[in-house]
Chains A and B, each alone.
Chain A
């Protein structure tokens, strides 16, 4: 990777991680390969891609939340909080004390569907209290004060009364706010947000995105934000990593990547979303041909080979290296390397 313009030490550095899932009657399935990502304090990194591209698996690996049949085959996940030592999360046992100290405390997570990730039989307040009592050892009464203050901060109206509500009594937007309050309870260094606005209406989505940005400024936390929506990426990201079938195909500063998308998949993805434009400027969408193959059928080389309009001879057999486009903007594509420029490439 080329040197990054940021002087700080990364808070989270994922290096060459490969995650596989085993099943009793089939060969292991490699869900993500050679993932390298850096996340700096106070910044937002978006992982973007379509269903099955490995974005959730990557994010969950940071908290070691993937199912028991998953295995981090190689690589390191270095987490360096400002007030502590660097830990390699990939080397920890998922249920170890060290991991449990990080989970929910230094790194916390919010999920797509707040209804299924909150307990339906406990009040929202009790669930947040529990978290504060466990990690910070506060007494129930003090914990409740903190909870009410948190709910107030995330914009829940009437927080003291709302703390006594069950999740089903709240609207989708309020439930997501309660989730965010819970995630912030221990002032995490890193917040992982897995499609937090996908289940919400657009106006609620806009409110939640604004809230997350405000809170990030206030707490100075870093965010690892997972989404399939390029609009949301454009709105919230500092850095973006585009994933396809387990590979990070392109990554870099969000302005650079959107201005000059360099991997054929990123380009195709951007051409397949309708732009908000007047009729005369509107172009017919150019969808990506075919469908995403199964991870089992992924070639040794670039995962996008089977659908890429520019695919040529080295693509299927050899994984392209990371090639710098500009600054910290890199893409993995043979077209960007020297030897490809010599070859005649049919468009």
Chain B
């Protein structure tokens, strides 16, 4: 199947001066990132703060230009479009197809606008509807996400965190997009609300035939929602695998560490951590040579310090590690599913 969107060798470098007359410093937020997402797939991008997952999302929607590489979008029934080659005007129609949901539902909704106007704005900008039709479409999409029609006239502050996130989702969906990029869309929510929003995202995906790029740091959520997972570290893709393969048998030592650090809500599975988590993420500006992960890797050898591993195929997995074939890494699935008795009181 051809990919709906593919990202090829994309790099993004930020440069800034420290102080007015200081030297120009550069930071490589994305290094040679390649990945693709198939139609109907949910692709998760995971990693810790500063790994470049948000920069990747923003680069795909062209919220910022990339330094190198290309992003290609293949709309169904249309020739492929190289988004990175388009200017602002030429990009505009494609913005209807690729939409974004943000993490913090408070700061991503304009507090001066009523909910109706927030959700209607994309339709107005793209001149897709007006008057009665506009109102119907807005009310329709709000209803789909569970916001009643009579709440349209209210301002964002009148809603709870979960409802605000629903409004953000409605704003993304009102243009009938093909691809939705959800950047930490459930991270700021309480668990019970998080579950509601996750279920909503799944239902909407089926109903509208959406494709998701789901950016998250929470591997529990990712295991639940994703078909495939891309693990990023310091701006590099280190592993790209189907969800089950990744959780069953990670191929990159960093993935193993992430899985091991994940707290599992079952005290019976406690104490399985073998202290492999060590060190801290290096500062982006002083990225190690060779494999970006070698400073924290328990398998690192001389080769890792000098030679950067390329992403290559091992089994179903794409992985960037010199020793991927030989490493025996531990996954996150326990031997047996947790048993919990929900005694009906």
Contact = CB atoms under 8 A, between A and B. Distances in A.
Interface of A: 50-51, 171-174, 201-207, 209-210, 228-235, 237, 254-255, 258-262, 264, 267-279, 281-282, 284-288, 291-292, 310, 333, 335-336, 340, 347
6 contacts: A171-B280, A210-B275, A232-B263, A273-B220, A287-B193, A336-B345
A51 B333 CA distance: 30
A282 B244 CA distance: 11
B198 A274 contact: yes
Contacts of A261: 340, 342
A231 B345 contact: no
Contacts of A310: 345
B91 interface: no
B277 A206 contact: yes
A262 B345 contact: yes
Interface of B: 48-49, 160, 162-163, 190-196, 198-199, 202, 217, 219-221, 223-225, 243-244, 247-248, 257-258, 260-270, 273, 275, 277-278, 280-281, 332-334, 337-345
A248 to B, nearest CB: 17
A332 to B, nearest CB: 11
Contact of B244 (A204, A235, A273, A278): A278
A202 B345 contact: no
Could you say which of A202, A267, A284 has the most chain B C-beta atoms within 10 Å of its C-beta?
A202
B192 A258 contact: no
A268 B217 contact: no
Contacts of B190: 50-51, 228, 292
Contacts of B281: 171, 201
A231 B220 contact: yes
A237 B263 contact: no
A234 B263 contact: yes
A255 B268 CA distance: 7
Contacts of A264: 345
Contacts of A277: 223, 333, 337
Contact of B261 (A205, A270, A279): A205
Contacts of B340: 258-261, 270
Contact of B262 (A173, A262, A276, A284): A276
Given A234-B267, A273-B220, A284-B199, 9 more contacts: A206-B261, A210-B273, A228-B190, A235-B264, A259-B268, A260-B341, A262-B343, A272-B192, A335-B345
B265 A273 contact: yes
Contacts of A272: 191-192, 194-195
Contact of B264 (A267, A276, A287): A276
A267 B340 CA distance: 10
Given A206-B261, A206-B277, A231-B220, A50 B337 contact: no
A234 B191 contact: no
B280 A229 contact: no
A203 B257 contact: yes
Contact of B333 (A206, A230, A235, A278): A278
B199 A291 contact: no
A283 to B, nearest CB: 10
A278 B345 contact: no
B217 A287 contact: no
B345 A333 contact: yes
Contacts of B199: 284-285, 287
A275 B191 CA distance: 12
B324 to A, nearest CB: 20
B267 A255 contact: yes
Given A206-B260, A269-B191, A279 B267 contact: no
Contact of B263 (A172, A235, A284): A235
Contacts of B265: 230-231, 233-234, 258, 270, 273, 275
Contacts of A270: 265, 340
B215 to A, nearest CB: 14
Given A230-B265, A234-B265, A202 B337 contact: no
Contacts of B333: 276-278
A209 B277 CA distance: 12
Contacts of A235: 263-264, 267, 270
Contacts of A232: 263
Could you say which of B217, B263, B278, B339 has the most chain A C-beta atoms within 10 Å of its C-beta?
B263
A30 B162 CA distance: 24
